[in-house]
Amino acid sequence: MRFSRKLYGVMLALLLFAGSPAAAVADLYWESVQVNRGIPGLIDGQHVLKTYLTAKACRVETGREVLIFDFTLRLVYQLEPGPQTYTKLTLAALGAVPALPGVESETVQDLMNRFLGGVQVIPTREEKTVSGHRCRKFLFSFMLIRGEVWASKQVKAFPEFIRNGQIMAQVLRDSPLLQSMDFAGMLGQLDGFPVEVIFFMAGGHSTTTLKKIEQRPLEPDLFQVPRGYSLRH
């Protein structure tokens, strides 16, 4: 499905930005630079990612499209500014297990969970400075994906990021695919904000590096489909 294929790479990077516990917190905005080479579903070259995160929604701008995650309605929107069209998908449908004749859906889901396994995280003692922040290196793996995360506690917005992230992680569990991956469990093992995320897949690689982050109020309109856009089926 076209929507799922294009969403995959951005969602992988986005999910590395979810954390752990709590309540009312400040809105966050951050910019990252993503460099892709040979990753299926991602466009090669350098792109600026703009991420807007609140306790109710998340928006990611890739330069070519916009992804909106509505935590309240459990919906994901993919906006294409050029033709002014959008696609809508429920989180429950993202990675939903197809029905197999004569096999109960719970059995198929269990088989998928065993096949996917889970995301493995290994902390290391290696450190370096990325974008002005002292970071610690973590290795991670999932199926055919291998990568590393450089995380730092020096990012000033880290507490807000952690609190908003838990809300996001709980909502993303509505997706059968993301539930199998257990990203919330993986992120609980990271000791800091993921300043840089690098992953390798199918002979290609992608690097996403934080450039700036701000704590400021975000307008609700950012998380809604603009007027004039038509739904594409």
E-strand ranges in 54-168 read: 57-61, 66-70, 75-80, 85-90, 120-130, 133-142, 145-152
Q: pLDDT tens for residues 161-195?
A: 766 666 666 766 666 666 655 555 666 677 788 89
Domain chopping of the chain, boundaries: 2-231
What percentage of the chain has pLDDT greater than the value 70? 67
Smallest CA-to-CA distance from 232 within 82, 83, 85 is with 85
Supply the pLDDT for residue 183: 56
The fold adopted by the segment(s) 2-231 is outer membrane lipoprotein receptor (LolB), chain A (2.50.20)
- The pTM assigned to this predicted structure is 0.79
The answer to whether 58 and 14 are in contact (CB under 8 A) is yes
